[in-house]
Amino acid sequence: MHRLEQLNPEQRRAVEHGDGPLMVLAGAGTGKTRVLVNRIAFLVRRGVQARDVLAVTFTNKAAAEMRERLRELLGVAAQRMWIGTFHATCARLLRLHGERIGLPSDFTIFDDDDQRRILSTLLKGKGLDDQVTARTLATQIDRYKNRGEDPMDAAGGWGDDILREIYPLYRDQLARESAVDFNDLLLKVLELARDEEVGPHLAARFRHVLVDEFQDTNRVQYRLVRHLSQVHGNLCVVGDDDQSIYSWRGAEPRNLLDFGRDYPDTAVVKLEQNYRSTQVILDAANAVIAQNRDRHEKALWTEIAGGEPILWEESDSERDEADFIARAIKGLVSAEGRTYADMAVLYRTRAQSRALEEQMRRYDIDYRVVGDISFFQRREIKDTLAYLRLLLHPNADSCFERIVNVPTRGIGKTTIERVRGYARRANIDLYEAARAGARGDVGALSAGPRKKLAAFVDIIEGLRDVLAAGASVAELIIQTVERSGYREWLEKQDTPEANDRLSNLAELVSMASDFDDETDGEGTLVEFDARVSLWSSVDTSDGRSDGAVTLMTIHAAKGLEFPVVFLCGMEDGLFPSLREREGGDLMDAMEEEVRLAYVAMTRARERLVLSNARTRRQWGEIRINQPSRFLDLVPDHCMAVRARPAPRPVRSYLPEPGGRSWSRRGQRQRADRSARGAQYDELDQRTYDDDMPVYHADAESGVGDEGGRRRTPGRSGARLRAGVDAGDGPEAGSMVSHASFGTGRVLESTGSGKGRRLLIDFAGVGLKTVLARFVEPA
C-alpha cells in the first residue's frame, strides 16, 4: 500500500491534524486536493471507517476524481465513502430518510429547465406571463431558498406580489409530482435535521466531514455542514476566499472568512507554496488580487523563478482576436513543441466561444468546448426522460404536458385544454384524465381526439408493462424511443439536427448500459434519473482532452490548470463585466470580477497570454470597448514589452480605503492612489443602456480609425455614428404607430442603430418595448 504522498510541512500538518475543526486556506495551485485526499487516507488508516467519512466537492467531476485517487491509495474502501456534491449527497440522504418528512423515496429531481417550464405554465395560467418572465421568477425563488428563507416572506419588493401568488402553486405542483428542485434537495435535508428522530441520527452519522471549495458554499449548505458535523466536531473545510466566484448564486465567502468565529478552537493551516505557476504569473495574479480588501492575507510563492513574460495582444475585432489566438496556438505547437492539450482559452461569457470556434476550425485546430449546452439539457434527452418520469409518477403533470404531443401525434391545444378541464373538475391528474378521455368519459371530446389520446395512453401503458417486466434501464429507454415514435419521427426529418438528436439518444442508451453494468442490473430507473438530473455540463466532459485545445468560461476552469492559458476578451464592460446586478452592491460585484481574473490567471503554469479586441459584436451590434482595467494592474516587469499597446492614463477603480463605496451611477469619484498617478474616469458609470459608443452595424468602415483611438479623460462616451442619422427614428415624447399595437407615446429610447429600442405607452395596450425600426411617426 502507498505511503503518504510527498507533502510539505504545512500540507502535512493539515493531513495529520487529529480531531476537531480544521480550516485549510489553500491558495491557487498549493496542493489543496492532494491535502484533502491524503487527509482522508490518513484518517482511514488511523481506524476511521470509510463509510463514516463524508467529503463534499463542488462538482460531480471533482467527486469522481477524488474517489479515484482514494481508490489508488486505499483500494475498495474508497467505494464505501460518501463523496459527492452537496446536491448529490442530499439526494442520497433523502432517499434514505425523506419519507419521514413526507417525501417518497422515488422522488424526481427537477433541474432549472423543468422549474422554469412549470413556472411558465403557472404564470400563463394566471395571465401574469406578460409581467414577469419565468426566468426572473425562478431567480427570485432561488435567491430566497439559497438563504434558507421562505419565498412567501417576500414583501415590498418589485414583483413580490406575483412571487407570493405563484410560489405556493409551484410548491404544491412539485409536491403533487413527487419532485424537488435543486434547492429543495438541500432544504429538505435541513428539515430532516430538525426532525426529532432523524435529526440526531444525521448529526452523528459522519465521524469526519470534509468540504472542498468552502468559499463557495451558501448559507443553507453551511447550516447543513454544521449539523452533519455536530456530534463528532470533526469538520475540515478547505478553500480560498480569493477564489470565491459564485456569490451570484448565493455563495457566501464569509463562511470561510468567519469560520474561526463559529469554531473558536479551529486549527488553521495556510498553504502558500504554489507548485503550479511561474513567478511571473504569480506576481501578476497577486498584483490583481491585491486590489481587494477584506481577505485572508496570503502570500503565494513559488520555487519556479522567472518564467516567460505575459503577452498582451490587442486586436481590432473579436474575429481578429480569435485569429490571433489560433495562430498563436499553431505557433506554440511548432516553436515550442506544445500540444493542443496543453492549451486552454478562457473567456468571461459563453457567447465568446463562437468566434473562437470559427477560427479553430479555419486553422484546423482540434478543440473542445467545455460546458456547452449540457447533454442532459437537450430537448430529445429531456423528452425521453419525461416519458420515463411519467411512468414512475403518473401524476407528473409537467411531464405529461411535455410529451403528450411529442412527437406530434395530433393532440393539439384544444384537446389538451379539454383534458385539463376534466382533470380539474374531477380533481385528478392529467394522465388519468387522458385515460378517461380515451375511454370516452370526457364528453367534449369527439372520436378523432379520443382515438389519438387512446394511442398515447397505449404507449405509456405498454411502457409501464416493460418496466414492470423488469427491463434494464437501457432496454427501457430503447423501448421508449421506439414506442413513442420518437426514433421514426427524427429519422423521417432527415436533417443534420435530427441526426444529431438521434445520436444523442443513442448516447443516452449507452450511458444507461454503462449504468446497468455498473450496478449489476440492480440500478433502478429512479437512480438513473437522479444521476442524470444532477450531472451537469461541466461534469460531462471527461477530464481528458484527447489532444484538443480546451475552450471554456473562467468559471468552468476553476480547479484546472494548463501549461498555456489564453485569457481573451479583456475589455471593460465584458471583463470586468460591470453589468448591473439586482440587489447587489457594485463594489462587491467588482471584487468578484477581480477574483475571477485571479482565478483565470492562476490556471496558467508557464505561459499566459492576455488579449482584448477594440470592437466586438454583441447582440448583433458592434461595440467599442476599452482594454480591461485588469490589464493595467499587471506589473510592467511581468509583461512582454513588444505586445503592450502604447501607454495611456492608468485607471484605478477602487475608492480610497475607508472611503465611499461605489454608487450606481452619476457620481464622479477620484482616487489617485496608483503609483503611476492614476486618474479615475467615468467608465464605471457606463451601463448597457446608456451612452455606449455605438455605430451602425452596416458601416464597418468607420471602425478602424475612430475605434482605435485611445480614450482620453473628458472624451469618454462619444457616440460614433457612420452614415445618416435618420436611422435613429423618433425621440422620447413623440407619437408613433405600430402595426399591431396601434399608436402610442415614446417614453424612452435605448440602444441605437438596428438595435434601437423604444419604450412606448400604447393606448389601450400599455407599456411595450419595441424595436424602433418597427414603428412609424404618427
Partner DNA sequence: AACGCGGATCTTTTT
Partner DNA sequence: GATCCGCGTT
For cell 468560461, name the residue: 553
Q: Which of 349, 687, 734, 737 binds DNA (CB under 7 A)?
A: 349
Q: Which is nearer to DNA, 110 or 263 (CB)?
A: 110
Q: Which of 75, 125, 157, 410 binds DNA (CB under 7 A)?
A: 410
**243 catalytic, yes or no?**
yes
CB of 580 to DNA, least distance (A): 8
Residue type, 225: V
CB of 338 to DNA, least distance (A): 25
Instruction: Specify which residues 461 forms β-bridges with.
Output: none
DSSP string for 181-246: EHHHHHHHHHHHHHSTTHHHHHHHH-SEEEESSGGG-BHHHHHHHHHHTTTT--EEEEE-GGG---
Stretch that binds DNA, among 346-354, 389-397, 643-651, 712-720 (CB under 7 A): 346-354
Per CB under 7 A, 415 contacts DNA: yes
* CA distance linking residue 434 with residue 454, whole number of Å: 8
Per CB under 7 A, 321 contacts DNA: no
What are residue 186's phi and psi, to 5 degrees? -75, -45
Q: Which of 8, 33, 133, 273 binds DNA (CB under 7 A)?
A: 133
> Given 117, 603, 644, 711, which residue is catalytic?
603
Per CB under 7 A, 766 contacts DNA: no
Q: Which is nearer to DNA, 579 or 665 (CB)?
A: 579
**682 catalytic, yes or no?**
no
What lies within 8 Å, CB to CB, of 587 at 6+ separation is 661, 662
Per CB under 7 A, 112 contacts DNA: yes
**95 catalytic, yes or no?**
no
**603 catalytic, yes or no?**
yes
CB of 741 to DNA, least distance (A): 7
- Taking only Cα atoms into account, the Rg of the chain, rounded to an integer number of angstroms, comes to 28
> Given 13, 32, 69, 117, which residue is catalytic?
32
Q: Identify the CA nearest to 285 among candidates 315, 253, 242, 320.
A: 242
Per CB under 7 A, 58 contacts DNA: yes
**679 catalytic, yes or no?**
no
Q: Which is nearer to DNA, 120 or 230 (CB)?
A: 120
Distance set, CA 38 to CA 22, 25, 60, 72, 369 (Å): 15, 16, 19, 11, 32
For cell 380515451, name the residue: 438
Q: Which of 169, 203, 765, 771 binds DNA (CB under 7 A)?
A: 771
CB of 691 to DNA, least distance (A): 18
Site string for DNA, 516-555 (x = CB under 7 A): ------------------x-xxxx-------------x-x
CB of 680 to DNA, least distance (A): 23
Cell of 717: 462616451
Q: What three-state secondary structure class fits 765?
A: coil
What lies within 8 Å, CB to CB, of 693 at 6+ separation is 623, 624, 717, 718, 719, 720
Site string for DNA, 435-464 (x = CB under 7 A): --------------x---------------
Helical (H) or strand (E) element with 135: helix 134-146
For 41-73, give one letter per residue: b (16+ CB within 10 A) or e. bbbbeeebebebbbbbbbbbbbbbbbbebbeeb
* CA distance linking residue 481 with residue 291, whole number of Å: 55
* CA distance linking residue 276 with residue 377, whole number of Å: 35
Q: Identify the CA nearest to 597 among candidates 284, 214, 216, 312.
A: 284
Cell of 668: 464622479
Q: Identify the CA nearest to 147 among candidates 20, 265, 251.
A: 251
Per CB under 7 A, 701 contacts DNA: no
Q: Which is nearer to DNA, 454 or 466 (CB)?
A: 454
CB of 58 to DNA, least distance (A): 6
Q: State yes or no: cis peptide before 576, omega within 30 of 0.
A: yes
Q: What three-state secondary structure class fits 617?
A: strand
Sheet holding 694-695, edge to edge: 615-618, 621-624, 694-695
Q: Identify the CA nearest to 441 among candidates 428, 459, 177.
A: 428
Q: Which is nearer to DNA, 142 or 516 (CB)?
A: 142
Per CB under 7 A, 348 contacts DNA: yes
β-pairing, 179-181 vs 208-211, is unpaired
For 255-267, give one letter per residue: b (16+ CB within 10 A) or e. bbbebeeebeebb
Stretch that binds DNA, among 18-26, 330-338, 413-421, 637-645 (CB under 7 A): 413-421
Q: Which of 238, 392, 631, 770 binds DNA (CB under 7 A)?
A: 770
Q: Which is nearer to DNA, 223 or 555 (CB)?
A: 555
Q: Which is nearer to DNA, 279 or 540 (CB)?
A: 540
CB of 386 to DNA, least distance (A): 15
Q: Which of 126, 147, 194, 249 binds DNA (CB under 7 A)?
A: 249
Per CB under 7 A, 664 contacts DNA: no
* CA distance linking residue 234 with residue 184, whole number of Å: 26
* CA distance linking residue 458 with residue 451, whole number of Å: 10
Name the region of 40 (left: φ>0; alpha: ψ -120 to 50; beta: rest): alpha
- Could you tell me how many residues of this chain bind DNA (CB under 7 A)? 59
* CA distance linking residue 683 with residue 573, whole number of Å: 9
> Given 5, 12, 16, 33, which residue is catalytic?
33
For helices 160-176 and 134-146, angle between their N-to-C axes, nearest 10 degrees: 80
Which residues, numbered 180-209, are part of the site for DNA (CB under 7 A)? Answer: 182
Q: Which of 309, 371, 693, 707 binds DNA (CB under 7 A)?
A: 371
CA atoms within 13 A on the CB side of 685: 13
Per CB under 7 A, 124 contacts DNA: yes
CB of 135 to DNA, least distance (A): 6
CB of 305 to DNA, least distance (A): 34
**212 catalytic, yes or no?**
yes
Stretch that binds DNA, among 19-27, 197-205, 241-249, 711-719 (CB under 7 A): 241-249
DSSP string for 46-90: TT--GGGEEEEESSHHHHHHHHHHHHHHHGGGGGGSEEEEHHHHH
Site string for DNA, 599-638 (x = CB under 7 A): -------------------xxx------------------
Site string for DNA, 8-47 (x = CB under 7 A): ----------------------------------------
Stretch that binds DNA, among 82-90, 226-234, 355-363, 513-521 (CB under 7 A): 82-90
Per CB under 7 A, 769 contacts DNA: yes
> Given 111, 142, 181, 213, which residue is catalytic?
213
Q: Which is nearer to DNA, 152 or 373 (CB)?
A: 373
Q: Which of 99, 105, 135, 776 binds DNA (CB under 7 A)?
A: 135
Cell of 235: 469538520
For cell 475571477, name the residue: 596
CB of 23 to DNA, least distance (A): 22
Per CB under 7 A, 589 contacts DNA: yes
- The sign of the dihedral angle between the CA atoms of 183, 187, 188, 190 is positive
CB of 169 to DNA, least distance (A): 18
Residue type, 601: M
Q: Which of 200, 233, 655, 755 binds DNA (CB under 7 A)?
A: 755
Please measure the distance between the N-terminal and C-terminal CA atoms of the chain and give it in whole angstroms.
Answer: 84
CB of 705 to DNA, least distance (A): 22
Q: Which residues are catalytic?
A: 32-33, 212-213, 243, 603
Give the interface with DNA as residue ranges (CB under 7 A): 58-60, 85-88, 111-112, 120, 124, 129, 133, 135, 182, 245-246, 248-249, 348-351, 371, 405, 408-415, 449, 534, 536-539, 553, 555-556, 577, 579, 581, 589, 618-620, 738-740, 755, 757, 768-771, 774
